[in-house]
Structure 1
Amino acid sequence: MITVQEAHALISKAVHVLSAEEISLHVAQGRVIAEDIRADFALPRFDNAAMDGFAVQWADIRDARERRPVTLRVNGEIPAGAPADIVVEPGSCVQIMTGAHMPEGADTVVAYEQTSGFGGETVDIFKPPAANANVRYAGEEVKPGDLLMRKGMRLTPAELGVLAAFGRSHVQVFQRPSIGIVTVGDELREPGQRLDGAAIYNSNRYSLESCALSAGAVVAGSWHAPDQPDAIAEILGEALAKSDLLMTAGGISTGEYDYIQRLLTGLGVRQQFWKVAHKPGKPLFFGDTPEGKLVFGLPGNPVSALVCFLEYIMPALSAMQDGSYHGKIDAVLAEPFPADRKRYRFLFGRVWQKDGGLFCLVSDKTESHMLTSLVGSNCLIEAPAAAEPLPAGSVVTCNLLPWSTLHE
C-alpha cells in the first residue's frame, strides 16, 4: 500500500499530453489552449474616446466654469467606426462618440454632461476635466507581441472575448480526453428497472459520466458487466480500445468476485499500484498501457469512487491537456474534522466565504456508501492521518467540486 503523494507521483509520470487540433471559437468554451497566444496588434489600435462628448484642446477649456463657460465652434461629428478626418484647431472642437477615433489636434474629451449638449454650431463647456482625460490611448492595454494567454489555460467567456477582439476565428486546443466507464456487479440495475431481491440501482455509472463531462472530457462509452470473468474481459477490451482513459467501478477489492485487477493486467495493462493509504477508497488500481492509455480501477462504493475521481482522475485529465489542476484551496474548519488514525482522510462537505475568510464544514454523513452526503456539498475536505480529530480552527485543504460554487 502506497501513500497519497506516491500515488500522485506515479500517475503524473504516466500521463502523456494529447495532441492538438484547431477549432472554431463557437465551440471552444471549456477547451484548453495548446499554444501561447500573443497580440498581433496594439489594443486599442488607435487613440479613441472613452465616452460621448466633445474632442477638444485642453488649453482652450482649462478656465471653463459653470458661470463662465467656454464657447467652442463645433467642426463636425465623428461616430464610432468613422474616419477621423477633421482637425481640431484652437477655438474649435468635434462632437465624438464612445470608441471613435480621436481627431488630429485634440488631446481631451469633455463628457456630454459637462456641456450644453449636441446639435449646435457651437457648444458651451461648463467644467473642464483633467488634461488628456477620457481618452483611450493606442497600446495602453496591450502592445504588439504581448503575451495574452499561456498554453494550458482553459477557455472561458473572458478568453474567448479576447481572442475575438484580436480577430481570431479559430484557436489551437488540446484534444479532449475520451473516457470509457465500466461498472461491474450482478446486483446492479439501471434506473427505471424493477428492483428485486438484494438488487440496487447503478448510481456509479451516472455520477462518473457526469464527473467526466464536468471535467471537460468526452465519454467514449459506458458499459456494465456482470460478475463473469469472460464477459468482463470482453467489455474491458472494448472500452480500453475506445478510450484515452478507462475507469472501472467495482470488482477491485479482494473478494471472490473481484476480477478487475487480474483481468486488466491480462489485457496488457501495466499495474503501477493497487491500494492507497487513504479513507475512503483504499482499493484503488492504477495502471497504463504501452500506448500511453491510463486505467483507474475505482471501488464500488459510490462515495469512494467519487473521492478517487476527484483526487486522482481530475488532475490526470488536466495533465493530459498540458494544464495544472487548480481545484484546491485552504479553509478553516468550523467544526472538528473526524481524522483517521492510520490513513489520509477525505470527507465531502461545504466551504463558504465569511468576513474575508474561507470556512468549511464536513457533511453529517461520513461513510463511503452514503451517496447522499454529496447533496449540498461543494468540496472534498482532506487531512493527513491523525490520532485525534482535528479541532475547529484548523486549516485544511478543500478540493472544490467542479460542478459546485462557494456558498455564502
Structure 2
Amino acid sequence: MLDKKYLLPQDALKLILHNLKPGCLTVETIPIEKAYGRVTAEDILSPEDLPGFERSTVDGFAVKAFDTFGAKESSPVYLTVKGDIAMGAIPHFSLSNGEAASIATGGMLPEGADAIVMIEHVNVISNDLIEVLRAVSPGENVIFRDEDAKKGEVVIKAGHRLKPQDIGALAGVGITTVKVFKQPVVSIILTGDEIIPHTEKVTPGKVRDVNSFTLAGLCYENGAVPLKMGIVRDEYDKLKETVQKAYEISDIILITGGTSAGVKDLTAKVIDELGSPGVLFHGASIKPGKPVIGAVCNGKPVFGLPGHPVAVYICFELFVKPVIHHMLKVTDKNFKKTVKAKISRNIHSQAGREDFIRVYLEEHNGEIWATPLLSKSGLIMSLVKAQGIVRIPSELIGLSEGQEVLIEIID
C-alpha cells in the first residue's frame, strides 16, 4: 500500500512555489545579439512603424487600383508608365490617374499608388505604355507601413523567452538592447562513494558520472547556467562544506544521490540546516523519483534528486524546470509536444501514485503505437532510446493493451 505521507507531484511543487518569490532575479541590459533564449524583464514596445513605408510584395507595376477596374484579357486597360522604382530608393514622383510605375518585390510605392499589378498580368507595349489584363483591388500585393508593427505597440511581452524570430523582429524595429532577467546559476553536486569522473576507467563497484551532464544540458535548455561542484563522498562534513559553498554562489542547488533512507544518506539533514523553512517534502508519489527532496532555504530552492539517471530526468521536469521558470517570471505557456498513440501492452500501476513510463513509437497500418521501455530507472540508455513519456495518473491502476494514451514527446 502507498505511504500516505508522500505528496502527489503537483502538490509538492505548489509547496515549493508558495515559498518562492517570482522574478527574484536581478535584471540586466544586454545586446540583442546575446539575448537568444533569455527572458524579457519588461514589455518591449516598437519605437517605430514596421516596415515604415508601403512596399510591394511582388514584381509588377504600382497603380491606382480604380484605374484597373474592369480590366481583363479580352478588354485590357492601358496605363502610361511614369517611371521605374529602384530597390531601396525613394520614388521622387507621384502617380496621377491613368499612370503606373515599374516596381520590384520590396520596393517602395510612390505617392498616389495603392496596389500592385503582378508582372504576369501585364503586357509591356513600350517603355511608357502597358496593358493591364486583370483588375486589382486597393491594397492588393501591398504591405502597409504599419502592417507588421505599429509605433508604441507591445511587440514582445515581459516574461517571454526570446526566440530567433523575436530577435529578428527587434532588429527590424531598430531595438539594439533588451532588459532581461539574470540567468539563475544552478549548482550541481554529485554524492556517492561509487561515482567517478567520466574520464576515469571504471573498476568494479564504480560508475561514471552521468547525472551532471544530463542536468547541465537541462539547465541550458531552460535558461539557467549550470555550475558543476564536483563529486562529494558520503561524509557529512564534506557534503555540508560543498553545499554551503554552493549556497553562497548560486541561485538553485541540485544534489544527486543520498536521498533515500540509507545510513549514509545525509542530504536531507544538510539541506535542512541551510535555512528556513528548510525541507518541505521528502518523497513524492511518483515512479521513478519517489525519494526526491524539495526545500527552500532563506529564499533559495534546493533539491535532493535520486541518483538514478531516469529519476533525475523526471524530477527535473516535474520540479526544477517549473522553479526555474517561476524565478524567471516566464509567462509563456509551457505546451508540451504530444501525440496520441495506442499502448502496445498492459502496464500495471499503483493507485495514488503517478507513474512515468518511457516509450518508443512505431507506426502500424496508419496507427501510432507506443511500446513501453520497462527497464530500471538506473539505466540511462532507456532514456536515450525513448521517444516519449506516458504519464499514468494517480487515479488509475494501469493501462490496457490497445488503450489510447497521450505521449509527451522527448525532444
**Same fold by TM-score greater than 0.5:** yes
Does 2:305 match 1:298? yes
The question of 1:62 aligning with 2:69 is answered: yes
TM-score normalized by the length of structure 1: 0.89
CA positional deviation for 1:332: 3.5
Give the aligned partner of residue 28 of structure 2: 21
Please tell me whether the aligned partners of residues 348 and 374 of structure 1 are also in contact (alpha carbons under 8 angstroms). yes
Q: Hey, what does 2:397 align to over in structure 1? A: 388
Question: 1:349: how far off?
Answer: 2.7
Q: After TM superposition, give the deviation of residue 116 of structure 1 in Å.
A: 3.1
Measured after TM superposition, the shift of residue 311 of structure 1 is 0.9
Cα 1:395–1:163 change in 2 (3 A) is farther
SS of 1:304's partner is helix
Correspondence list, 1:315-394, <5 A: 315-324=322-331, 326-328=334-336, 331-335=339-343, 336-350=346-360, 361=370, 363-386=372-395, 388-392=397-401
| 1:241 match: secondary structure | helix
- Aligned CA RMSD, in angstroms, stands at 2.7
Partner of 2:217 in structure 1?
Answer: 210
Q: CA deviation at 1:362?
A: 5.1
Cα separation, partners in 2 of 1:384 and 1:41, compared to 1, 3 Å: same
* Residue of structure 2 equivalent to 1:124: 131
Tell me the alpha carbon deviations over residues 286-321 of structure 1, each in whole angstroms, 9 at most, x when there is no partner. Answer: 11221x211000011111111101111111111111
1:307–1:380 contact (8 Å) kept in structure 2: no
The one-character-per-residue Cα deviations of 1:347-400 (angstroms, maximum 9, x if unpaired) are 22357999999x672532342222211123243321223563223565656544
Structure 1 pair 83–275 and aligned structure 2 pair: CA distance change class (3 A): same
Aligned CA distance change for structure 1 residues 204 and 132 (closer, same or farther; 3 Å): closer
- CA distance in 2 between counterparts of 1:243 and 1:354 reads 49
Equivalenced residues, count:
400
Query: 1:55 and 1:323 mapped to 2: Cα distance?
Result: 45
2:263 to 231, 256, 268: 256
Deviates more, 1:127-136 or 1:7-16: 127-136
CA contact 1:252–1:260 (8 Å) conserved in 2: yes
Corresponding letter in the other structure for 2:291: P
Pair 60,211 (structure 1): closer, same or farther in 2 beyond 3 Å = closer
Task: Using the TM superposition, give the Cα deviation of residue 91 of structure 1 relative to its aligned residue in structure 2, in angstroms.
Answer: 2.8
The separation in 1 between residues aligned to 2:365 and 2:70, in whole angstroms, is 47
**1:281 corresponds to 2:289:** yes
Q: Aligned partner of 1:129: which letter? A: V
TM-score by length of 2: 0.88
Distance 2:76 2:396 in 1: 79
Secondary structure of 1:340's aligned partner: coil
Q: Secondary structure at the match of 1:154?
A: coil
Percent identity for Structure 1 against Structure 2:
29
**Distance in 2, Cα, partners of 1:387 & 1:37:** 45
Q: Which amino acid aligns with 1:145?
A: G
1:228 aligns with 2:235: yes
| CA positional deviation for 1:186 | 1.0
Q: Deviations over 1:135-165 (max 9, x none)?
A: 2223334333332222111111121121111
How many angstroms apart in 2 are the aligned matches of 1:165 and 1:360? Answer: 45
Counterpart residue identity of residue 296, structure 2: D
Given candidates 86, 91, 95, the residue that maps to 2:93 is: 86
Once the 2 structures are TM-superposed, how far is the Cα of residue 181 of structure 1 from its aligned partner?
0.3
CA separation of 1:115 and 1:356: change in aligned 2, threshold 3 A: farther
Aligned runs of 1:27-176 on 2, under 5 Å? 27-66=34-73, 68-117=75-124, 120-176=127-183
Whole-Å separation in 1 of the counterparts to 2:73 and 2:217: 64
Q: Give the CA deviation at 1:338.
A: 3.5
For 2:275 and 2:125, how far apart are their aligned partners in 1?
Answer: 78
3-state SS in 2 of match to 1:328: coil
Aligned pairs for 1:192-203 within 5 A: 192-203=199-210
Given that residues 383 and 396 in structure 1 are in contact (C-alpha distance below 8 angstroms), is that contact kept between their aligned partners in structure 2? no
What SS does the corresponding residue of 2:261 show, helix, strand or coil? coil
What is the alpha-carbon distance in structure 1 between the residues aligned to residue 272 and residue 254 of structure 2? 14
Structure 1's unaligned 5+ residue stretches are none
1:212 and 1:385 map into 2 onto residues whose CA distance is 28
Q: Which piece of structure 1 moves more, 308-317 or 259-268?
A: 259-268
Contact 2:40/2:180 (<8 A) preserved? yes
Mapped to 2, the partners of 1:256 and 1:111 lie a distance apart of 80
Pair 31,378 (structure 1): closer, same or farther in 2 beyond 3 Å: farther
State the partner residue of 1:12: 17
